[in-house]
């Protein structure tokens, strides 16, 4: 149920999808290349969340499997720094 006045537009150029509790097969179909493990989760460096593909970062359930929101949020702080560093320096 939508509450009157609760909808709004948010202008943005990038959206980060952060839903689900297991590996979504659509991710590997639409973003080929990142190495995956035996469970079909994306392999990412635990300190930067970098994947095997230049410019692609991953965190949360697609890396660890189903876990808590707190766990996923904890992974994203170092990822945000690594993404910032990558975007400002261009070095991988």
Q: How confident is the model at residue 86 (pLDDT cuts 50, 70, 90)?
A: very high
Q: Which residue has the tokens 């493990």?
A: 37
Among 23, 73, 85, which residue's Cα sits nearest to residue 48?
A: 85
Do residues 34 and 58 lie in contact, with contact meaning Cβ atoms separated by under 8 Å?
Answer: yes
Q: Is 57 helix (H, G, I), strand (E, B) or coil?
A: strand
CA gap 63, 50 in Å, rounded: 11
Instruction: Say whether pTM exceeds 0.85.
Output: no
**44 with 64: CB under 8 angstroms?**
no
| Residue percentage of the chain with pLDDT more than 90 | 18
Tell me the average pLDDT of the chain. 81
Instruction: Tell me the per-residue pLDDT of 17-49, one tens digit each, with 9 for 90 and over.
Output: 666 556 667 777 777 788 988 888 889 998 899
């Amino acid at each position: 149920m939508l509450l009157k006045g609760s909808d709004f537009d948010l202008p943005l150029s990038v959206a980060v999808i952060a839903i689900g509790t297991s590996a979504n097969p659509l991710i590997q179909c639409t973003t080929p290349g990142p190495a995956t493990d035996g469970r079909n989760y994306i392999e990412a460096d635990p300190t930067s969340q970098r994947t095997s593909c230049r410019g692609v970062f991953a965190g949360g359930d697609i890396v660890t499997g189903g876990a808590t929101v707190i766990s996923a949020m904890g992974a994203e702080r170092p990822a945000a720094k690594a993404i910032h560093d990558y975007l400002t320096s261009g070095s991988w």
